[in-house]
């Protein structure tokens, strides 16, 4: 029985749940930061609830998904070591390293917010949330296209996508400020 398709399926499932965790944890960061600006007792109630939600998400879904996605990825590379000779895989692995850096920075922010230490604004977190989106686009396109020869076009595409996200963020921020006035 060929285990490759099963390992690949499991790898993809845990990549999806890892990204879901990363997307949602940063959204919870936004809520935690905004809760800190509320008057008591609302502030205390919301902080307690968001800290619990973040804790469960981080340690029950996000971290285990990251570890399992990586273990299945190593298994796939063990079964198909020739991928390590392909330039698209080198670029993809660079983005995976960047994803782990993003994950570890989220862990640092998670720990700060668990201690009710606010070091970033909710707007910063909204923008920070797009980092995982950019990495996701890069990794998926590299994995599907398996072509790093045109990586310059991919990088330009990611930069353009990032600019669109920034413009969308600014537009959304203006709408929120208008509605709050």
Q: Which of 51-60, 130-139, 155-164 has the lowest mean pLDDT?
A: 155-164
Residues 86-109 have pLDDT tens digits of: 888 998 999 999 999 999 999 999
pLDDT of amino acid 48? 95
Range(s) of the domain holding residue 21: 4-180
Q: Taking the model in full, what pTM does it have?
A: 0.84
Higher pLDDT, 141 or 107: 107
Continuous H helices in 80-150:
87-114, 122-145
Residues 2-41 have pLDDT tens digits of: 999 999 999 999 999 999 999 999 999 999 999 999 999 9
Query: How far, in Å, CA of 150 to CA of 55, rounded?
Result: 40
CA neighbor of 142 nearest in space, from 130, 131, 154, 132: 154
Per the structure, the count of domains in the chain is 1
At residue 155, does pLDDT exceed 90? Answer: no
Angle of helix 151-180 relative to helix 87-114, nearest 10 degrees, comes to 30
pLDDT of amino acid 150? 65
**172 phi and psi angles, rounded to 5 deg:** -65, -40
Query: How far, in Å, CA of 166 to CA of 49, rounded?
Result: 30
Residues 105-131 have pLDDT tens digits of: 999 999 999 999 999 999 899 889 988
Q: How confident is the model at residue 138 (pLDDT cuts 50, 70, 90)?
A: confident
Residues 58-72 have pLDDT tens digits of: 999 999 999 999 999
Q: How confident is the model at residue 177 (pLDDT cuts 50, 70, 90)?
A: confident
Q: Which of 40-49, 50-59, 86-95, 164-173 has the lowest mean pLDDT?
A: 164-173
**Residue 11 marked ligand-binding:** yes
């Amino acid at each position: 029985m060929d285990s490759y398709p099963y390992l690949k399926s499991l790898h993809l499932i845990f990549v999806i749940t890892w990204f879901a965790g990363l997307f949602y944890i940063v959204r919870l960061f936004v809520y935690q930061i905004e809760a800190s600006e509320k008057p008591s007792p609302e502030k205390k109630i919301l902080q307690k609830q968001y800290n619990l939600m973040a804790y469960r998400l981080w340690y029950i879904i996000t971290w285990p998904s990251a570890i399992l996605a990586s273990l299945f990825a190593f298994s796939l590379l063990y079964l198909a070591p020739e991928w390590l000779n392909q330039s698209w895989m080198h670029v993809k692995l660079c983005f995976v390293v960047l994803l782990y850096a993003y994950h570890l920075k989220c862990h640092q922010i998670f720990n700060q917010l668990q201690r009710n230490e606010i070091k970033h604004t909710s707007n910063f977190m909204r923008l920070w949330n797009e980092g995982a989106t950019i990495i996701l686009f890069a990794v998926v396109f590299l994995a599907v296209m398996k072509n790093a020869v045109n990586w310059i076009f991919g990088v330009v595409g990611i930069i353009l996508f990032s600019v669109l996200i920034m413009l969308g963020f600014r537009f959304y921020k203006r709408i929120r400020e208008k509605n709050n006035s």
